[in-house]
Amino acid sequence: MPKPVLLTVDDDPEVLRAIERDLRGRYADRYRVMRANSGSAGLTTLRELKARNNPVALLLADQRMPQMDGVNFLSEAMEMHPLAKRALLTAYADTNAAIDAINEARVHYYLMKPWDPPEEKLFPALDDLLHDWTATFRPPYEGIRVLGTRWSTRSYELRDFLARNQVPYQWIDVELAQTDPEVRGLVDSLGPEAETLPLILFPDGARLAEPPLPAVADKIGLRTHTQTSFYDLAIVGGGPAGLAAAVYGASEGLHTVMIEREAPGGQAGLSSRIENYLGFPAGLSGNDLARRAVAQARRFGVEILAPQEAVSLRAEGPYRFLKLADGFEISCHALLLAMGVQWRTLEVPGIERLQGAGVYYGGGTTEAMACKGETVHIIGGANSAGQAAMHFSKFAVKVVMLVRGESLASTMSHYLIEQIEKTPNIEVQTRSGVVEVHGESRLTGLTILRSLTGEKENVPATSLYIFIGAQPRTEWLGGLIERDERGFILSGPDLLRGGKRPPSWTLDRDPGLLETNVPGIFVVGDVRHGSVKRVASGVGEGAVVVQFMHQYLAKVQ
């Protein structure tokens, strides 16, 4: 943390140098002493300190200054730094003004000029003020701060991006400026900049307003561009299956790159709690699992590009070529498709307008704290919906699960059903679904259809989380890779029709269990046709496929 600031303001150069000299001599080991030659200059300095989240311990201003006297300066400064101690330097003739300032402007102390010797007439008073300040001081947050509003789609995307990439940040809702003096002081210090939201403030003083995610990624040090153009193994997708393959591939000597469209962890990374993963009897969050796996992959030298996206694929001889969204193309001998799946969207009136403004797909862990004291609605009856319900029950007054089927038994693990039944603020409404959402700039209500009776019910709502299954995103593969009617990638025996191999298959053997119709291109995880949609099975496939890759590479190199 930077040293707390002592700021002295005086228009008289000699007095300013003298007070700065004495302050440095006494306090430089614990505080940063700064000076300004006018009230306006002092306010400019304070605005910058506020934007950087640097604490200010003491403001010492001369009363008689042109344009802005000391009392007015301290009054305005108090709006930005309400916890700073405030003192006036006055001449004998200004004593009454100083006393009035203590009574009316909440100035803490006044000091007479000249203050010689400072050991008697300056330091004792300042020591008391600084002692009081230290007793109540709480160090400010030193990392990235994000300013925005809760119902802003852009703000939600930014918070979700930082959280999924394990980047610590502090969220500041500017709407709290009406009631929170600290937020109001920060907003005031930023001036017109605070009108362009979301706004990211970095510890080094840099600021990004309405930033595109690639610009944020570059600033926080995420890698989005490749270091070379050729790799032994390229992996598209950074979920559990892709991460497992990256770890096993790199640990066995393959020069490996992993390309992830959003953030490592995939859908599993959004899970608030995974309780049936082998080796973690107390469970762990998807974010924790992703963080551990990413650290492990990087330790073995895996190059992780995120956010980055593969947009097309081609094969030439023994090489497989991936074109990335930034226009760069990389080649590899072995390619692994591990893109996972994307949440299926709910097609009801008004929902697109409110996505990110009360309507969310996936875990929504970044929004849980904001739902304190509210009712949360969740659509879905599988494990992901149940895990989210348990997580939100810790914050919300009530969690309402809207389930299309007759019960949870056919779609959810037994242990999770038992937990939900024992949680008093979770209500499961079966044979129910949302047919319309309401609100202009934010979600305000839902229309729920009770399929058993055919009745529709309008209910107020502020947060809706949707878990209604998932679908692959494989259109970018074009006609090169064979897929089923839903877009899932075919592999192994599923490629054999009437005992015949695919036309694109060039090897003198049948495609292996995890091989696609193009030799050297493999598929694992949820995007594979017929896969088991579980974290453990994805990790298992990612580990096993590396052995198949070695067998393939041994014959092409």
pLDDT in tens, 359-413: 998 866 778 888 989 999 999 999 989 999 999 999 999 999 999 999 999 899 9
Q: What is the pLDDT of residue 105?
A: 66
Question: Which tokens in the block code for residue 43?
Answer: 């306010």
Q: How many CA atoms lie within 13 A of 260 on its CB side?
A: 28
Strand pairing of 341-343 and 470-472? antiparallel
Q: How many domains does the chain contain in total?
A: 4
Residue 351 CA: distances (Å) to CA of 342, 367, 459, 465: 17, 18, 16, 12
- Dihedral of CA 145/151/157/163: which sign? positive
Residue 549 within any structural domain of the chain: yes
E strand or H helix that includes residue 342 = strand 341-343
Nearest Cα to 148, choosing from 204, 207, 194?
194
Tell me the mean pLDDT in the region 312-338. 95
- pLDDT for the residue numbered 104: 66
Are 439 and 494 within one domain? Answer: no
Q: Is residue 419 part of a domain?
A: yes
The reply to whether 149 falls in a domain is: yes
Tens of pLDDT, residues 515-533: 999 999 999 999 999 998 8
Domain stops at, among 468, 488, 521: 468
Lowest mean pLDDT among 34-38, 221-225, 358-362, 553-557: 553-557
Give residue 557's pLDDT band: very low, low, confident or very high (50, 70, 90).
low
| pLDDT single digits (tens) 244-261 | 999 999 999 999 999 999
The yes-or-no verdict on residue 269 having pLDDT over 80 is: no
String of DSSP letters for 481-519? S-B-TTSPBP-GGGG-BTTBPPTT--SSS---TTB-SST
Which structure tokens are listed for 356?
A: 């990110």
Q: In this predicted structure, which of 11-20, 94-103, 415-424 has the lowest mean pLDDT?
A: 94-103
Q: Which of 184-193, 317-326, 522-531 has the lowest mean pLDDT?
A: 184-193
Domain residue limits at 255: 230-342+471-556
The DSSP output letter for 262 is: S
Tell me what percent of the chain is helix, strand and coil, each rounded to the nearest 5.
Answer: 35, 25, 40
pLDDT, residue 102, reads 74
Positive or negative CA dihedral for 233, 238, 243, 245? negative
Give the mean pLDDT of the chain: 91
Same domain (yes/no): 31, 119: yes
Residue 225 belongs to some domain of the structure = no
Residue-wise pLDDT tens digits, 445-492: 999 999 999 999 999 999 999 999 889 999 999 999 999 999 999 999
Q: pLDDT digit string (tens) for 404-438?
A: 999 999 899 999 999 999 999 999 999 999 999 99
Residue 369: how many other CB atoms lie within 10 Å: 10
67, 109: one domain = yes
**What is the CATH number for 464?**
3.50.50.60
How far apart, in whole angstroms, are the C-alpha atoms of residue 71 and residue 97? 9
How many residues does this entry show for the chain? 557
